[in-house]
Amino acid sequence: MEENVKMNMEDFSLTDDLFVRVGTEGLSGEEIGRKSLTYWADVWRRFRSNKLALLGMFLLIGVVVLLFTGPLISGKDYQFIDASLKNISPCAEHWFGTDDMGRDLFTRVCVGGRISIYIGLCCTLVMFVIGALLGALAGLKGGLVDDVIMRICEFIGNLPYLIIVVILSMVMGRSLFSLVFAMSLTAWVGTARMVRGQILQIKEQDYVQAAKALGADTGRIIMKHLLPNTLGIIMVDITMSVPGFIFSEAFLSYIGLGVKPPETSWGALASAGQQQLMFYPYQLFFPCLLIVLTILSFHLIGDGLSDALDPKLRQ
Amino acid sequence: MMVKFIGKRVAYAVLTLFLITTATFFLVAAAPGDPIAAKVGQMPEQAQEIINEKYGFDKPVTTRYIMYMKNLLTTGDFGESIVYTGKSANDIIKDNTLVSAKIGLMALVFQVVIGVLLGMISALNRGKPVDHMIRVLVVLAICVPSFVFASLLQYFLAFKWKLVPVFGWGELRHYVLPVAAYAIGGIASYTKYMRSSTLSVIGEDYIVTAKAKGCGKGRVVRKHVLRNSMIPIVTMIGPALAGIFGGSFIIEKMFSIPGLGFYYVKAVSDNDYTMVIGLTIFFALLFVASLIVVDILYGIVDPRIRVAKGSK
């Protein structure tokens, strides 16, 4: 050992090969290895890796495709009454059987489902537009505007939801419009509060301050920072609201305030099926199966989304 | 501070109630369909006039409204039913509020107790088969509407296996089906929230501290995990308490239980104006009053809320 050192000391000279980098050949440290992901690409990546959420998405797509192509495949009319074919159990001709008036249940479930989902989506849309706009306005403007909007929210939040819906449906008559109106009238309050809270929180974040300091105008801050960061929770809220509205519609149809015949919906079908439960259980089973599958898919998607949007929530 | 807070809430509540009463009155008056016409259609003209006069339908809406409010505020009388002569909304309220309250409260107790237990079990056994089983059941229970549960329970427990009577009212065994049907959905959502709440509490530093100090597992769960993870649940109980009377509509209708919801739905389908208005006001009163009670209770349960309010 000592010999070696001594020898090295003796013929010590600086040669070029002493300065060759070792172990970094072929590596490129400065190069960005993976394409940088945008926020939504990242969300989609995480959502995609969640098997349950994907299942929910395919389930929902499947249900929707079924609802729109079902009547074409079965080739029957959902209002066609055939008195000789009352209460037939599921068979090759009538996949879900027929109801107490001899109408093909499969076609009815498909057509009714369209209405149910349509109502769910419409209510959610109205709720989201009003809620997000007012919430954002309250959060951004502050002051008097904020006060007024929050007082209105407080007032509406104090109303018993179901009673309002029942009264409105009674007063406005039974139409799709009155249903949607009644159900979304009180529902937007939650969205408005949530969006306002989120905006107030984000507004004070450092990156927004930094953007301001760098000279970004209000429009840019809204589009680049506030909107993308609130969109996440709004999307989760939307996926969770649709099933809620579908439930409410089913409830109203069930107590006789919902969709008016000859139109039908899952709630109306389930209500009709419930009266036949003792003798023809399948008439309740099929509408309910579709309700359950749809709600399930929305829940799975919602759960997946909220996990994907907020890594902190992942446990 | 508390007195001022409560005073403000009560003032809002009174305003809300007044607005609801007014709005309901005019909305119902504008509703399509005429219950009086249906009732008096075949009567001689004189009788029609007498009945119209009795309910004030010969006067304009505003006059009727002022009369109604005067009557309501001085005597607390909601007026006589249009469809059932001699019965008033007050009678219905007097006789049937307790029934709805009993079912609702029983269901709520089951929801919270079972939900909290299942949620804790699920969270403490995270990733184990028990957890998976509970989560699957919860998702199923959330996705099924309550009237479907009610039908299934009715079909199997009462019709197929004859464990409990299908209809009838009065004895304890009659409560089994409606309370069970009412409670299932709630059990599922309480379980869900309790699970995630417990999971987040388990990761907190004070749990690690408690463990590090040699706290036994049972004690950690009871004293630290349970107490802290209950806070969000308590905030959920509030609105649930307020919603008790509204939530039982379907169940009462399905099982023909003589509760408030049953009569309300009936009044709506009968177009029984006075009943609808009277019961709506009463429902609103219950709802608004319970919201205030809940707000006060929050302050008592969670000191942090009290502090936050005090500092405002």
CA A293 and chain centroid, separation = 15
Confidence of residue A287 (pLDDT cuts 50, 70, 90): confident
Contact flag B283-A160 (C-beta cutoff 8 Å): yes
- From the list B194, B183, B179, the residue with the least C-alpha distance to B135 is B194
- From the list B301, B303, B279, the residue with the least C-alpha distance to B81 is B279
Nearest CB among A171, A271, A299 relative to B31 is that of A171
Nearest CB among A161, A251, A277 relative to B250 is that of A251
Confidence of residue A222 (pLDDT cuts 50, 70, 90): confident
The rounded distance, in Å, linking the Cα atoms of A96 and A88 is: 9
Mutate which of A52, A165, A167, A253 to disrupt the B interface (most B C-beta within 10 Å)? A167
CB A203 within 8 A of CB A222: no
Nearest CB among B20, B140, B155 relative to A159 is that of B20
**Rounded percentage of chain A residues whose pLDDT exceeds 70:** 82
Kindly list the residues from chain A whose CB atom is less than 8 angstroms away from the CB atom of residue B142.
295, 299
How far off is chain B from A35, nearest CA to CA, in Å?
34
The rounded distance, in Å, linking the Cα atoms of A275 and A203 is: 54
Contact flag B287-A271 (C-beta cutoff 8 Å): no
The rounded distance, in Å, linking the Cα atoms of B135 and B196 is: 11
How far off is chain A from B271, nearest CA to CA, in Å?
8
Kindly list the residues from chain B whose CB atom is less than 8 angstroms away from the CB atom of residue A277.
151, 154-155
Closest residue in B to A151 (Cα) is B12
- List chain B pLDDT tens, one digit each, 312 residues: 677 878 888 888 888 888 888 888 887 777 766 666 666 556 666 777 776 666 666 677 777 788 788 877 877 777 777 777 677 778 778 877 888 888 888 889 999 999 999 999 998 888 888 888 998 888 888 888 777 888 888 888 777 777 777 666 667 677 788 888 888 888 988 998 888 888 888 888 888 888 888 888 888 888 888 888 887 787 777 777 777 776 677 778 777 788 888 888 888 777 777 888 888 888 888 888 877 877 777 666 666 555 444 443
For chain B, say whether A131 makes contact (Cβ under 8 Å): no
Contact flag A167-B28 (C-beta cutoff 8 Å): yes
How far off is chain B from A14, nearest CA to CA, in Å?
57
What DSSP assignment string belongs to A93-146? SSTT-B-TTS-BHHHHHHHHHHHHHHHHHHHHHHHHHHHHHHHHHHHHH-HHHH
Sequence-distant (≥ 6) Cβ neighbours of residue A170 within 8 angstroms: A257, B28, B31, B268, B271, B276
Half-sphere exposure in the Cβ direction for A95 (13 Å, CA):
13
Contact flag B288-A158 (C-beta cutoff 8 Å): yes
Contact flag B147-A295 (C-beta cutoff 8 Å): no
Enumerate residues 251 to 270 of chain A having a beta carbon within 8 A of any beta carbon in chain B: 251, 254-257, 267, 270
Please tell me the predicted confidence (pLDDT) of residue B117: 92
Mutate which of B147, B152, B189 to disrupt the A interface (most A C-beta within 10 Å)? B147
- From the list A74, A166, A184, A202, the residue with the least C-alpha distance to A127 is A184
Please tell me the predicted confidence (pLDDT) of residue B311: 41
Kindly list the residues from chain B whose CB atom is less than 8 angstroms away from the CB atom of residue A288.
144-145, 148
For chain B, say whether A288 makes contact (Cβ under 8 Å): yes
For chain B, say whether A52 makes contact (Cβ under 8 Å): no
Mutate which of B148, B245, B262, B292 to disrupt the A interface (most A C-beta within 10 Å)? B148
Kindly list the residues from chain B whose CB atom is less than 8 angstroms away from the CB atom of residue A255.
249-250, 253, 265, 268-269
Sequence-distant (≥ 6) Cβ neighbours of residue B196 within 8 angstroms: A315, B123
CA B256 and chain centroid, separation = 17
For chain B, say whether A284 makes contact (Cβ under 8 Å): yes
pLDDT of A6 above 60: no
| Ordered alpha helix ranges (H), chain B | 2-30, 35-40, 45-54, 61-75, 89-124, 129-143, 146-153, 176-202, 205-212, 217-219, 227-247, 249-254, 260-270, 273-301, 303-311
Contact flag B27-A168 (C-beta cutoff 8 Å): yes
Q: For residue A27, which phi and psi values (nearest 5 degrees)?
A: -100, 145
Nearest CB among A160, A171, A254 relative to B30 is that of A171
How far off is chain B from A175, nearest CA to CA, in Å?
13
**Rounded percentage of chain A residues whose pLDDT exceeds 90:** 1
For chain B, say whether A311 makes contact (Cβ under 8 Å): no
* pLDDT tens digits along A153-189: 877 776 777 777 777 777 777 777 878 888 888 888 8
Contact flag A170-B28 (C-beta cutoff 8 Å): yes
Enumerate residues 213 to 252 of chain A having a beta carbon within 8 A of any beta carbon in chain B: 243, 247, 250-251
A108 or B306, greater pLDDT: A108
Dmax of chain A from CA atoms?
113
| Ordered alpha helix ranges (H), chain A | 2-10, 39-48, 51-74, 105-141, 143-157, 161-172, 176-203, 206-213, 218-221, 227-254, 266-275, 282-309
Nearest CB among A160, A167, A284 relative to B246 is that of A160
Please tell me the predicted confidence (pLDDT) of residue B113: 92
Contact flag B19-A155 (C-beta cutoff 8 Å): yes
